[in-house]
Amino acid sequence: MKNWKIWIFLGSIASLLAAFLWLNFRIAASNTKAEMHITTASIGEGLPYSMQRRGKINLALIGEGPLIAALQNALVSEINKAGIGESELVRGIESKYPSPVLVIKLGSPKLLWTPFFATSQFTIQAGYSSVGNTAFVGETPVTIDNRDGPALNMYGEYEVRDSSWGLMSRPGYYQILADYVAQQIVSALKDLYGVST
């Protein structure tokens, strides 16, 4: 009888631990801030046709781990509901895409998570090209080609810091960070597209 109670207790602890490590839930207050540096460059008059028609936006993410996976989902959701186009995930980076491209690079995050408190600091680089050129990812100077009409580039660097309190699983905490970053990046894109917030 005594062993049975011990096994139930241990099973409950294991289930609780698994829930905090694998399920996505959060009841938390977050203090998330980002120091942002965003530059844009355009050539030609008016909005590029690729942006006017609100077509496909290629989305390439560089980085590994659960935060980049959460950011991928958050960006797809934010882009699709922002009214600027439909996102399409691409694997790897090509030098040129036939439609606009948004490239996201995640730096190595410094992160401490507990079920009741979490803190993190990381960098994100975001680059957008209306003509699908990914030269801004490399070390070479960026050029804008307007042979097919107006072109627009955006490049942003985000230094993100967060402290969160409450009850949150590890995936839930990654979701808090990803949602915030996706909102910041898509807000900059909406400014480019002339979409009111």
Give the model confidence (pLDDT) of 104-150 as tens digits. Answer: 999 989 999 999 999 999 999 999 999 898 887 766 556 666 666 78
Task: Give the list of residues 6+ apart from residue 10 with CB closer than 8 angstroms, or none.
Answer: none
38 membership: H or E segment, kind and range: strand 26-43
CA distance 166 to 80: 30
pLDDT at res. 9? 64
pTM comes to 0.87
Return d(Cα 117, Cα 169) in angstroms, integer. 10
- Amino acid 27: pLDDT: 86
pLDDT number for residue 2: 65
Q: What is the pLDDT of residue 116?
A: 94
Mean of per-residue pLDDT scores for the chain: 87
Parts of the chain with a pLDDT under 50: none
